[in-house]
Copies of this chain bind each other. A is one copy, B any other.
Amino acid sequence: MSDSLKYFFDPSSVVVIGASGTAGKAGYEVLVNMQANGYAGRIFPVNPSGGEILGLHVYRSLQEIPEPADLAVFIVPAEHTIGPLRECAAKGVRAAVISSGGFAEVGDEGARMQEEILTVARSAGMRIMGPNTIGLVSTPASFATTFYPLGKIRRGPISYIAQTGVFAGLELQWILTAENFGVARMAGLGNKIDVDDAEVLEYLSQDPETKAVLMYVEGFRNARRFLEVARKVTKKKPVIVFKGGRTKAGAARAMSHTASLAGNDAIMDGAFRQAGIARLRRYSDLIDIAKAIAFQPLPRGRRIASVAQSGGLGVVVADACEAAGLQMASLSPRTVEKLREISASWVTISNPVDMTPIVWRLGPAEAYRTVLETLFQDEGVDVLAPILLASPRIRAEQYSFVPELAARYSEKSIYVSFTGEKQSFDSARSFLETHSIPVFASVEEIPEKVETLLRCREAMER
């Protein structure tokens, strides 16, 4: 079945129903986005007024279009969907993204319209994504159906499946402007009357562009089928899920948002675990974990080493590691000896390594470089989570040894945080992340992420 999804993620031509010549309107911005992303297929805007938009010829009706298109994108109100959809069916359009809300999530009449859409689509063999979704992004195809003003979308190894269309809107805008990793495919499934999580997950499991699949889910149309698919996919690549609606209040909200039945959360928890899915507790981890996967190999084990300028933060990182089920690595005799040589006589060498005396002796750049290299070389260390110094005393580019060491010791993973001064932090973060070193706002966030990634790795090694 998944073969037909290529008409969504790699269409050779696309019809836009409800195209508009007015900047700011969804029917205009969707065309801007397609052009901004360099979509190379043919675009057929449809609007009864005809004319031209953004240099594209506008067709007054579907009949006028000279060929059957792969995909139709609907930017029209719910009640104006069924007419053009029948015409698409008649014309042999293979797939449709239906963006408008006002279907099952608002009541019976919406549910009826949704059923009608499905009947028309089924009888024509046309696939439907939505309704109630912004749709999708597919950077390898330079394609997007989103009508948020996003510009060129950064390509990368992370794919998202989201219940809510907004992932291809506001959340993607945040990823593009605040983060440095890129995305491969993004599908906002909305009310999921046809294409659902299980099918997209199966498609992405075979997608060479997708290194990991992250999901925002409110409920499943067919939970059993999804778990069956996930059980196989998690052996090949990480599948990481944040599920909305885990409390009563959240579940009620999910019902009114996408007509989703949230289901019993504890049962879901166990089912996810059995299927090898790593579940997230924080929504914002859908971005932070993506960054960790995009930039670094999965951790090879749970022995972690850290370095800190402050004794207090050393305690914080030790607590966070143990609480997350990681293990503070025992430093090898060779490591201890090497660190003792460059530290002060009164300092006990242990993990996390106390940087203060070493920085006093060698200056920050040389101190961090030497200590990190020593930790990378220690066979008893799987993961490094150093707290670096954000300071005018060390320029961002002076941290170039971090990506260099990470590349040399590529069997290990490194996740970085900082203490110090904000402006230096911003430039160091930007420098490091454009060189594939993920940077986190606080060291205490890292251990839980490492543990999540270890669960993914364990699932792959079943």
Residue ranges of A at the interface with B (Cβ–Cβ < 8 Å)? 78, 101-102, 106-107, 110, 162-164, 166-167, 169-171, 173-174, 177-178, 216, 218, 244-250, 252-254, 256-258, 282-284, 309-316, 318-319, 321-323, 328, 346-348, 350, 352, 419-423, 425, 441-442, 444
Contact = CB atoms under 8 A, between A and B. Distances in A.
10 contacts: A106-B348, A169-B310, A174-B420, A218-B315, A246-B323, A248-B322, A253-B315, A253-B352, A257-B315, A282-B442
A254 B314 CA distance: 8
A412 to B, nearest CB: 20
Contacts of A163: 312
Nearest to A443: B283
A255 B129 CA distance: 58
A174 B423 CA distance: 10
A462 B315 CA distance: 33
A214 B166 CA distance: 38
Contact of A311 (B247, B258, B314): B258
Contacts of A257: 311-312, 314-315
Given A250-B315, A318-B247, A177 B423 contact: yes
Contacts of A323: 246-247
B314 A253 contact: yes
A172 B322 CA distance: 27
Given A247-B319, A250-B319, 5 more contacts: A177-B423, A216-B312, A250-B316, A253-B318, A254-B315
A323 B421 CA distance: 34
Given A173-B421, A247-B323, A348 B256 contact: yes
Contacts of A420: 170, 173-174
A110 B345 CA distance: 13
A318 B250 contact: yes
A284 B257 CA distance: 32
Copies of this chain:
2
Contact of A249 (B245, B248, B328, B348): B328
A318 B256 CA distance: 12
Given A164-B310, A257-B315, A283-B442, A322 B249 contact: yes
Nearest to A316: B283
A282 B173 contact: no
Given A174-B419, A249-B328, A283 B444 contact: yes
A98 B283 CA distance: 45
B247 A322 contact: yes
B312 A444 contact: no
Contacts of A173: 420-421
A106 B419 contact: no
A249 B328 CA distance: 7
Contact of A419 (B170, B318, B444): B170
A348 B104 CA distance: 12
A444 B106 CA distance: 26
Contacts of A171: 310, 419
Contact of A425 (B164, B178, B216): B178
Given A249-B319, A315-B254, A174 B422 contact: yes
- Please give me the 10 A-B residue pairs with the lowest Cβ-Cβ distance, nearest first: A250-B319, A164-B312, A257-B311, A244-B315, A247-B322, A166-B310, A178-B422, A177-B422, A249-B322, A249-B318
Given A106-B347, A170-B309, A322 B282 contact: no
Given A283-B316, A441-B284, A441-B441, A164 B311 contact: yes
Contact of A312 (B167, B310, B348): B167
Contacts of A216: 312
A273 B313 CA distance: 25
Contacts of A352: 253
A312 B245 contact: no
